[in-house]
Amino acid sequence: MSAAVVAVDLGATSGRVMLGYVGHDELRLVPVARFPNNPVRIVDGLHWNILELYRNVTTGLASAVREEPDIRSIAVDSWAVDYALLRGDRMLGNPFHYRDDRNAAGVEATHALVEPAELYKANGLQFLPFNTVYQLAAERLAGSLDGADSMLLIPDLVNFWLTGASRAEQTNASTTGLLNVHGGCWDESLIERLGLPRGILPEIVTPGSTVGTLLPRVAAELGAPSSLAVSAVGSHDTASAVVAVPAADQDFAYISSGTWSLVGVELEHPVVSQAGREAGFTNEGGVDGRIRFLQNVSGLWLLSESVRTWERGGESIDLPTLIAQAAAVTTPVPVFDAGDARFVAPGDMPARIAAWCTERGLTPPASRAEFARSILESLAEAYARSLEAAAALSGTRIRVIHVVGGGSQNALLCQLTADRTGLPVLAGPMEATAIGNVLVQARAQGLVARDSSLEALRSIVAKTFLPVRYEPAAR
């Protein structure tokens, strides 16, 4: 007999609540709720509408309980780096969005105290101006940390509101820049040198552990028993997505493709060489102590932000039609640097791409279809460069690329990735993050063997979700 757990998966543009049924030779997801996740700009900057997000989470959880009363546990994952500051039970303000422009001062202040090379040796993180360590430095400069006694990353915040337990899940904590890359614990020396208050950082828990049970008032609101457990999983959404890579071969790379593209390989130990730092690679925590050695590459954000720009002009864009038109483009299109910092902030993406091309003497795309094709060609080229570097820096061999997440449904991008890397691409599952979330819960609840390895969990995915294979075009 199968049993159910609930995965709450919060992405940077949308969220979902999924029932996951796991049993002997069964792995099944049932969508319960989907909702948008739209930031809000107010006078002091760009924020997440976390209260609206939480309301949608609890509404979705209540629907899940009505649909399946026998739920074994709940777990939450989300995007990385962003957080709320609290004093006692009270949140001190809506969390800032990582694309807010306040972070530049935090970067400068951090590097004045700890040189970038030394920082990399300690935390193993690729330099990204929105890493939590830089956001907290900006808070310190503004005096915003003075009234706080805790900092909770987004999934930890939702868990706190559900259970009253203040914990930090390890895979997501690894994205803050404050976790020691070798020990998986808060780096006390680094935190002290950066002038950050150690007391705001909660106890770290690992995937598979229990955070707590539902607060009585939350249980009553959901119609659930107060004994219902809230579990820790790979609460960084990419950590959960990598669990669900249906890999039959050890020599694989992954691309978790969505708003961002997380491109890399899975290792047993971090790589913190100078070459790794200069190449922009990060060492993030994975489930079961694995290391996700990867680059954060700009993803389908480039396309979605372009579509938003065009729709602000009054036209409606059908994305599948646009992709089909892009696939039909036969004229050469420019390949631009998808990682250029100008493409991080919201705004007129087509104008920025055109400006990048013009500055380099390239002819910009002339139509929306050409812009879309240029974006996808540029992403595929970025993936190829990242994977070549990942293999060289880590000493691993890559035989196949697994693309999971929403981008696995983009056939043109998958084929271009195969063509530019010269490697087969296996696409799917689309809901990899929710699947990984469910499987780690299932293991903790004994719905699969409690000593199941990641490879055993992945074999369940491979039996259930048949990927689409893309072979590289003959050269």
Does domain 245-428 fall under CATH 3.30.420.40? My reply is yes
Tell me the CATH number of domain 3-237, given options 3.30.420.40, 3.40.630.40, 3.40.50.1000, 3.10.20.30: 3.30.420.40
pLDDT by residue for the chain (475 residues), tens only, comes to 578 999 999 998 899 999 999 987 789 999 999 999 999 999 999 999 999 999 999 999 999 999 999 999 999 999 999 999 999 999 999 999 998 988 889 999 999 999 999 999 999 999 999 999 999 999 999 999 999 999 999 999 999 999 999 999 999 999 999 999 998 999 999 999 999 999 999 999 999 999 999 999 999 999 999 999 999 999 999 999 999 999 988 899 999 999 889 999 999 999 999 999 999 999 999 999 999 999 999 899 999 999 999 999 888 999 999 999 999 999 999 999 999 989 988 899 999 999 999 999 999 999 999 999 999 999 999 999 999 999 999 999 999 999 999 999 999 999 999 999 999 999 999 999 999 999 999 999 999 999 999 999 999 999 999 999 999 997 6
Report how far apart, in Å, the C-alpha atoms of 461 and of each of 46, 48, 83, 188, 401 are.
38, 33, 31, 39, 16
Residues for the chain: how many in total? 475
Q: Where in the chain is the domain with CATH 3.30.420.40?
A: 3-237, 245-428
Q: What is the pTM assigned to this prediction?
A: 0.94
- Cα 121–chain centre separation: 23
Contact 36, 462 (CB under 8 A): no
Angle at 81 between CA 455 and CA 100, to 5 degrees: 145
Region of 88 please: left (phi>0), alpha (psi -120 to 50) or beta: left
Spatial CA neighbour of 404 closest among 383, 381, 427: 427
237 is catalytic: yes
Say what the pLDDT of residue 26 is. Answer: 84
Name the catalytic one among 101, 237, 318, 337: 237
Q: What is the bridge-based pairing of β-strands 83-87 and 150-153?
A: antiparallel
What does the alpha-carbon distance between residue 349 and residue 426 come to, in Å, rounded to a whole number?
Answer: 29
pLDDT at 248 (0 to 100): 87
Beta strand residue intervals within 268-327, DSSP E:
282-285, 291-298
Half-sphere exposure of 375 (CA within 13 A, CB side): 27
pLDDT at 118: 97
Asked if residue 132 lies in contact with residue 175, where contact means CB atoms within 8 angstroms, the answer is yes
Rg (CA), the chain: 22
Residue type, 48: W
What secondary structure letter does DSSP report for 323?
A: H
Residue 328 is predicted with a pLDDT of 98
